[in-house]
A and B are shown apart, each in its own frame.
Chain A
Amino acid sequence: MPDKAAGAGRHDVLMAPGLHLDHRCGRSFRVAPKGLEPLIDWLGHYQTFWRERFENLEKLLKESE
């Protein structure tokens, strides 16, 4: 069982700059998998969203030729 001091240390790590970079290298999965969700989920959502909407836009432009 980790003691409280170790837990607090982890929070410092969480707030440290560059955490997300660590995540992209696949090294910080044990540090902040949930904390990264707001970014990843919105980004993931809108990546798909905009790809689909661009297709809609192209279709609409083609129909109105």
Chain B
Amino acid sequence: MRETQAITVEKMLPYPPEKIWRTLTSSELIAKWLMPNDFVLAVGQRFNFRTTPMGDWDGVVHCEVLDCDPPKLLRYSWKGGADTNPAYGSRLDTTVAWTLTPVEGGTHLRMVHDGFVFPGNQFAYDMMSPGWGKVMDSIARVTGQG
């Protein structure tokens, strides 16, 4: 049981694909709208985004360029989190894909952030298991009162 979920954001932008491609692939420009990074445009290239640490996670998003077809497709892995974090900040192994399609008057930009899974990891499940007894007690109490 490992079903993945994705976030998709789509937008029609009144600019040519080449202009949008530059903002998606220039480290300096990415830093202005996304996050501090050391992005380099080359398949197989590893790079990081830096964000706020959370629990045992240092806040570093580890990425690798997976696909690159200028100015149409850019896809990179997006990994972070820590097994010991239970919720936001738990282990994350996802991909982000950018697709640029020229349309009349501009570009249709589509971002798909894919690979969110449940359970996030076995540790989270194991950690929560002792809590079930309490949940069951509560249910028993509520049921008993009913």
Contacts and interface: CB of A to CB of B under 8 A. Distances in A.
Interface in B1-38: 1, 3, 5, 7, 9, 11, 13, 15, 19-20, 23, 29, 32-34
Contacts of A27: none
Contact of B119 (A1, A7, A38, A61): A38
Contacts of A1: 137, 140
Given A10-B136, A38-B119, A50-B111, A58 B124 contact: no
Nearest to B85: A38
A37 B135 contact: no
A58 B125 contact: no
B43 interface: no
Interface residues of A, number: 39
A25 interface: no
Contacts of B133: 2, 7
Interface in B112-137: 113, 116-121, 124-125, 128-129, 131-133, 135-137
A59 B1 CA distance: 41
Q: Which has the most chain A C-beta neighbours within 10 Å: B5, B29, B87?
A: B87
Interface of B: 1, 3, 5, 7, 9, 11, 13, 15, 19-20, 23, 29, 32-34, 81, 86-88, 90-92, 111, 113, 116-121, 124-125, 128-129, 131-133, 135-137, 139-140
Interface of A: 1-2, 6-7, 10-11, 14-17, 19-20, 30, 32, 34-47, 50-51, 53-54, 56-61, 64
Given A1-B140, A54-B9, 15 more contacts: A6-B136, A20-B3, A30-B139, A37-B124, A38-B86, A39-B5, A41-B90, A42-B92, A44-B88, A50-B7, A50-B113, A53-B34, A61-B15, A61-B19, A61-B23
